[in-house]
Amino acid sequence: MSGGAVAEAAPVKKEMAIEISELIKSYGGFRALNGVNIDIQRGEIHSLVGQNGAGKSTLLGILSGRTAPSEGSVRIFGSELHYGDPRSSRKLGVATIYQELTIAPNLSALENVFLGQLLSVKGFISRKRMTKRYMELCALMGVNISPLQRAGNMSIADQQMLEIMRGLQLDAGILILDEPTASLAPPERKSLLKTIKTLQAGGITIIYVSHHLDEVLELSDSVTILRNGEKIVTQPRAYWTKDKLVSSMLGAEVAEEIVRVTQETRHEDAAPGPELLRATGVTVPGAIEDIAITLHAGEIVGIGGLVGSGRTTLVRALAGLEPKSTGSLWIEGKQVKWPREPGYPMSLGIALAPEDRKHQGLVLGMSCEDNINMVNFSQVKKLGFYRKAKAGHIADGLSKRFGLTRPIHTLCRNLSGGNQQKVLLAKVCNLRPKVLIVDEPTRGIDIGVKVEVLKILRQLANEGMAIVIISSELEEVIAVSNRVLVLSKGRLVKELSQRSEISVDHILQATF
């Protein structure tokens, strides 16, 4: 393990794993971090909590050596970190797990763990040494994953375990996790939290970023709140409650507003409007089979089920993104050709905000404004001229509605994760579809804006859209849905249509 041994005679003073002092990060005139000081003790789980754009990922980027700060310093186990050099940070024992997985699907579990860092004996690559180390890592994490299994066949949760094993391979003393549970289903989240605790028991210091405040409370020894690039406070776990976290990250008034709005988003049962979409026999070989779904104006339909149950495949098929899919489709009662190419469903009025916003949803090299308007150039073009003012006006209105915290000319690449999600939602709403499908719409969005997003979905439904929502947050699905369809292993196993039936218990019961 990195760092010096603790002097036995020094009783009270705890050893610091990380000392961050007066850290500033400027992007042009904008300060993503503004004079941050944090001390993190060896062996603790320290969480960073804050709204979208608060500066969490920026701070982690500096610790991992990816980003160079403008001013200030960081010491890791007493040694000064050399900025902007990921190797320096690794040498000091920092392993960083980013939200996007970097697993190579065609390689085995073992090969993935040692990707780019093969172990050798006397200059020869040693499979035996790697297998031994692999088994040690499995034991350290309390997991059991066959080294020979092809990574592409593994669940996202197991792939993430590999990612952590790869990070810990070189005796890391500090593990940094940026929203690691964002794409996991509830049971998988639980097991990841258990693994994190096991690692801590093995002496590893952990820095944890998550918008799931329950997880933060369950795991942390201490919590630091960031707001607008500044540290608001660091306190030990005993100090915190969920309410305190919320009011500290948002300010007390906003926190009260949220409670009010949450109550408003709960809807009453209402008679559904006319049928907008009906699909039958929806099949994608190897993924989903013979699913039927009907959507009416004014309703929100939730799709329940575990990760891997076929939820995303079903909505991708409706959006023309599954070339091997088959089925029959009616739009407003009229049968139309089954969609197998993406542009065509859009012309029928079906829009999808995909779960993978980076690869499918947004053009990262373009501004927020252009991303929002690119779906709908006809609105902002007149006699062949692009109407800049009109485009700006539309983009501005939509991004304000979704709580974007940066100016609309910002490149999407330079937005925080949560802000990118808001631009994606603004973009699909700008299409003004009849049927709006949102897959994990609040992933990575802070609690302040989450409620706002649900409220907007409810408004859009009230204005006559049909909305389909997939979310790993069952509470969210329950709060907004008029009906819930539960999928399991690619089949529709249950439809819950009475308000009283729609509950976490019923959904989970139907799933298992």
Residues in the site for ligand ATP, rule: CB under 6 A?
27, 30, 32, 50, 52-58, 406, 414-419, 444, 446
Please tell me the distance from the alpha carbon of residue 466 to that of residue 435, in angstroms, as a whole number: 5
Is the CB of 138 or the CB of 415 nearer to ligand ATP?
415
Is the CB of 55 or the CB of 180 nearer to ligand ATP?
55
**503 backbone dihedrals φ, ψ, rounded to 5°:** -145, 160
Q: Binding partner of residue 224 among Mg ion, ligand ATP, none, CB under 5 to 8 Å per kind? A: none
Of the candidates 36, 37, 44, the one whose C-alpha atom is nearest the C-alpha of residue 15 is 44
Q: Binding partner of residue 313 among ligand ATP, Mg ion, none, CB under 5 to 8 Å per kind? A: none
Is the CB of 403 or the CB of 417 nearer to Mg ion?
417
Smallest separation (angstroms) from Mg ion to the CB of 56: 5
Rounded to the nearest 5 percent, the helix, strand and coil shares of the chain are 40, 25, 35
Q: Binding partner of residue 386 among Mg ion, ligand ATP, none, CB under 5 to 8 Å per kind? A: none
Is the CB of 210 or the CB of 430 nearer to Mg ion?
210
Amino acid at 131: T
Q: What are 26's strand-pairing partners?
A: 31
Burial class (CB in 10 A: 0-12, 13-18, 19+), 17: buried
Residue 59: CA count within 13 A, CB half-sphere: 34
Smallest separation (angstroms) from ligand ATP to the CB of 404: 10
Specify whether the backbone of 258 is left (phi greater than 0), alpha (psi in -120 to 50) or beta.
Answer: alpha
Smallest separation (angstroms) from ligand ATP to the CB of 410: 6
Q: Binding partner of residue 52 among Mg ion, ligand ATP, none, CB under 5 to 8 Å per kind? A: ligand ATP
Q: Binding partner of residue 348 among ligand ATP, Mg ion, none, CB under 5 to 8 Å per kind? A: none
Smallest separation (angstroms) from ligand ATP to the CB of 55: 4
Q: Binding partner of residue 414 among ligand ATP, Mg ion, none, CB under 5 to 8 Å per kind? A: ligand ATP
Q: For strand 466-470 and strand 483-488, is the pairing parallel, antiparallel, or unpaired?
A: unpaired
- What is the edge-to-edge ordering of all strands in the sheet holding 94-97? 94-97, 174-178, 205-209, 45-49, 222-227, 230-236
Q: Binding partner of residue 316 among Mg ion, ligand ATP, none, CB under 5 to 8 Å per kind? A: none
DSSP classification of residue 50: -
Give the sign of the dihedral formed by CA 177, CA 180, CA 182, CA 186. Answer: negative
Q: Binding partner of residue 50 among Mg ion, ligand ATP, none, CB under 5 to 8 Å per kind? A: ligand ATP
Please tell me the distance from the alpha carbon of residue 59 to that of residue 176, in angstroms, as a whole number: 11
Smallest separation (angstroms) from ligand ATP to the CB of 24: 12
Q: Binding partner of residue 399 among ligand ATP, Mg ion, none, CB under 5 to 8 Å per kind? A: none
Whether the Cβ atoms of residue 377 and residue 391 lie closer than 8 Å to each other: no
Please tell me the distance from the alpha carbon of residue 188 to that of residue 270, in angstroms, as a whole number: 35
Please tell me the distance from the alpha carbon of residue 407 to that of residue 369, in angstroms, as a whole number: 9
Residue with smallest beta-carbon separation from ligand ATP: 418
Is the CB of 57 or the CB of 325 nearer to ligand ATP?
57
Is the CB of 364 or the CB of 375 nearer to ligand ATP?
364
Q: For strand 385-386 and strand 435-439, is the pairing parallel, antiparallel, or unpaired?
A: unpaired
Residue with smallest beta-carbon separation from Mg ion: 57
Q: Binding partner of residue 239 among Mg ion, ligand ATP, none, CB under 5 to 8 Å per kind? A: none
Of the candidates 161, 182, 105, the one whose C-alpha atom is nearest the C-alpha of residue 420 is 182
Of the candidates 339, 346, 311, 310, the one whose C-alpha atom is nearest the C-alpha of residue 325 is 339
Smallest separation (angstroms) from ligand ATP to the CB of 70: 12
Is the CB of 172 or the CB of 449 nearer to ligand ATP?
449
Smallest separation (angstroms) from ligand ATP to the CB of 193: 19
Q: Binding partner of residue 458 among ligand ATP, Mg ion, none, CB under 5 to 8 Å per kind? A: none
Smallest separation (angstroms) from ligand ATP to the CB of 459: 23
Smallest separation (angstroms) from ligand ATP to the CB of 364: 11
Is the CB of 213 or the CB of 467 nearer to ligand ATP?
213
249, 252, 255, 260: CA torsion to nearest 10: -170
DSSP string, 166-235: HHHTTT-SEEEEESTTTT--HHHHHHHHHHHHHHHHTT-EEEEE-S-HHHHHHH-SEEEEEETTEEEEEE
Is the CB of 454 or the CB of 507 nearer to ligand ATP?
454
The strand ranges marked E within 42-173 are 45-49, 71-76, 79-80, 94-97, 120-121, 124-125
Smallest separation (angstroms) from Mg ion to the CB of 47: 13
Smallest separation (angstroms) from ligand ATP to the CB of 15: 28
Which residues lie near Mg ion (CB under 5 A)?
57, 416-417
Is the CB of 46 or the CB of 506 nearer to Mg ion?
46
Q: What are 206's strand-pairing partners?
A: 45, 175
| The two three-digit tokens of residue 443, written as one number | 């992933």
| The two three-digit tokens of residue 317, written as one number | 């098929």
Smallest separation (angstroms) from ligand ATP to the CB of 445: 8
Is the CB of 57 or the CB of 399 nearer to Mg ion?
57
Q: Binding partner of residue 222 among Mg ion, ligand ATP, none, CB under 5 to 8 Å per kind? A: none
Is the CB of 418 or the CB of 490 nearer to ligand ATP?
418
- Strand, helix or coil at 55? coil
